[in-house]
Amino acid sequence: LRAEPESSPAPPQPASDPVDRKAVERTVRCFDAAGHLLRWPAPRGDQILALWVLWSKIPPRQEYSEQEISRLLQGLHHFGDHAILRRDLFGIGLVFRTDDCRVYRRIEQAPPATAAAVIGQVAHA
């Protein structure tokens, strides 16, 4: 008779997508009480979190021309560069854009935990 090896317990599963509280605090400080982006954060990770907040303010399942999405973004920030916001929303996969740049649409997806925390805090500021 051969002894069967004892089955070891499954390793503990890591917490799913932990929230980076420091990044949340830094990013939330870039928004005013009305939820407008006051300044473009310096760290790239914070920029991405700020873009998630803007993404959350784009109505879902609607198509926008470049001019319309630019106007929408102009109303969501105060530092005067809606083009960087538009390009980065597309660049990180939060907004779909046709090849000719004529149509923009929010891509529906669940935000990561840290982005969801920032969205929640900015919405309730």
pLDDT at 11: 46
pLDDT at 2: 52
Is residue 85 assigned to a domain? yes
Is residue 89 assigned to a domain? yes
Is residue 10 assigned to a domain? no
Is residue 7 assigned to a domain? no
Is residue 2 assigned to a domain? no
Tokens 């597309």, residue located:
90
pLDDT at 17: 75
Total domains in the chain come to: 1
Domain that holds residue 42: 21-123
Q: Which amino acid is at 55?
A: W
pLDDT at 1: 56
Query: Given CA atoms 74, 75, 77, 80 in this order, what sign does their dihedral have?
Result: positive
pLDDT in single tens digits along all 125 residues of the chain? 555 545 444 444 444 679 999 999 999 999 999 999 999 999 999 999 999 999 999 999 999 999 999 999 999 999 999 999 999 999 999 999 999 999 999 999 999 999 999 999 999 87
Is residue 96 assigned to a domain? yes
